[in-house]
């Protein structure tokens, strides 16, 4: 399974999306990885998920490491950090990682990591938080505040057996030691038009990102908004709300939250960004004839 597009890409300037309040968003493709298909789709039978994506001879599917570069309120925000550079060669082979260093990806597409003001990390799994620091433990974004839910940090520092070794505990402590950690609790506006929404479900403190100012307060078109789901909904393949992953720590919560956010997205005409989708993003959603949620035709 060989990618047919470049390792690093960014949405061209003239194709950037702009949402209510002057929030400008570009997608950075920061590399590839290949998660195990069985884990990625959990209890969903292979005959169903294989209609949408094929697994390689090691049972893995090809996924993107999608980051967002957001400009709002005179600030530059990076959403997610990819796998980073601290994974071993063995892990990179097992997980099929290519690229993954967010600073290298930014520089490769003409962007300066030192100009990032905020880094929003959806949760602390390796493929989202692995690029918070470099090989020496120094934060990759020297002037940025790293925005993470307090619940997520507490989970990483706790002693739950299920979480042992799978969260980027050392990296988050290195960010804290550098004075760059911004722990938030619940739904918080980071800058005008960019808010984090605590979702839970996938992990205890998972968060999504809502882009665009609220229409009721600013008189904007509600369709001029977007959402980045994190691993609550990692690709368009998981739009069926009951399709939870084996990696979801709280699957019942995940189903309920996904159902609510997806219906908000349909009702509001929001544009949707997916963290691991290899296809074109963002897309809009619609209700199917059978009552499910699917990509809107033409997006």
Answer for the pair 204, 250: CB distance below 8 angstroms, yes or no: yes
pTM: 0.95
Half-sphere exposure of 296 (CA within 13 A, CB side): 16
- Burial level of 189, CB count in 10 A (0-12/13-18/19+)? middle
Length of the chain: 299
Residue pLDDT, tens place only, 35-54:
999 999 999 999 999 999 99
CA–CA separation, 86 vs 92, rounded Å?
A: 10
How far is CA 196 from each of CA 31, 95, 147, rounded to the nearest angstrom? Answer: 24, 28, 9
Cα–Cα dist 283/151, whole Å: 30
Strand partners, 26: 69
What is the pLDDT at residue 219? 55
Q: Mapping DSSP to helix (H, G, I), strand (E, B) and coil, where does residue 133 land? A: strand
- What is the rounded distance in angstroms from the CA atom of residue 130 to the CA atom of residue 171? 8
| Pair 155, 167: CB distance under 8 Å | yes
- pLDDT of res. 87: 93
d(CA 224, CA 278): 24
Cα(125)–Cα(102) distance, integer angstroms = 15
- Show the domains of the chain with their CATH numbers: 9-295 (3.60.15.10)
DSSP string, 150-200: HHHHHHHHS--GGGTTTS-HHHHHHHHHTT-EEEE-SSEEEETTEEEEE--
- A 10 A CB-CB count for 254 gives 26
User: In tens digits, what is the pLDDT along the chain, a chain of 299 residues?
Assistant: 677 789 999 999 999 999 999 999 999 999 999 999 999 999 999 999 999 999 999 999 999 999 999 999 999 999 999 999 999 999 999 999 999 999 999 999 999 999 999 999 999 999 999 999 999 999 999 999 999 999 999 999 988 878 878 899 999 999 999 999 999 999 999 999 999 999 999 999 999 999 998 765 555 555 589 999 999 999 999 999 999 999 999 999 999 999 999 999 999 999 999 999 999 999 999 999 888 999 998 77
């Amino acid at each position: 399974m060989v990618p047919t597009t470049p390792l690093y890409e960014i949405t061209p300037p003239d194709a950037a999306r702009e949402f209510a309040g002057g929030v400008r968003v570009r997608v950075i493709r920061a590399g590839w990885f290949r998660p195990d298909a069985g884990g990625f789709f959990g209890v969903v039978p292979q005959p169903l998920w294989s209609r949408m994506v094929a697994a390689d001879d090691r049972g893995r599917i090809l996924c993107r490491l999608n980051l967002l570069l957001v400009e709002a309120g005179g600030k530059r925000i990076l959403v997610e950090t990819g796998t980073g550079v601290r994974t071993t060669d063995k892990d990179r082979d097992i997980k099929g990682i290519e690229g993954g260093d967010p600073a290298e990806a930014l520089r490769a597409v003409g962007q300066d990591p030192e100009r990032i003001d905020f880094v929003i990390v959806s949760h602390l799994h390796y493929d989202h938080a692995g690029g918070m620091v470099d090989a020496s433990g120094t934060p990759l974004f020297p002037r940025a505040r790293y925005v993470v839910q307090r619940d997520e940090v507490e989970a990483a520092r706790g002693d739950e057996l299920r979480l042992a070794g799978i969260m980027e505990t050392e990296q988050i402590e290195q960010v804290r030691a550098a004075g760059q950690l911004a722990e938030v609790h619940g739904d918080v506006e980071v800058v005008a038009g960019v808010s984090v929404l605590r979702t839970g479900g996938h992990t205890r403190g998972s968060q999504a990102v809502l882009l665009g100012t609220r229409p009721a307060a600013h008189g904007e078109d509600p369709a001029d908004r977007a959402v980045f789901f994190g691993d609550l909904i990692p690709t368009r393949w998981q739009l069926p709300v009951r399709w939870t992953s084996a990696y979801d720590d709280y699957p019942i919560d995940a189903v309920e939250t996904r159902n609510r956010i997806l219906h908000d997205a349909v009702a509001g005409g929001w544009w949707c960004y997916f963290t691991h989708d290899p296809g074109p993003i963002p897309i809009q959603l619609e209700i199917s004839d059978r009552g499910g949620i699917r990509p809107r035709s033409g997006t």
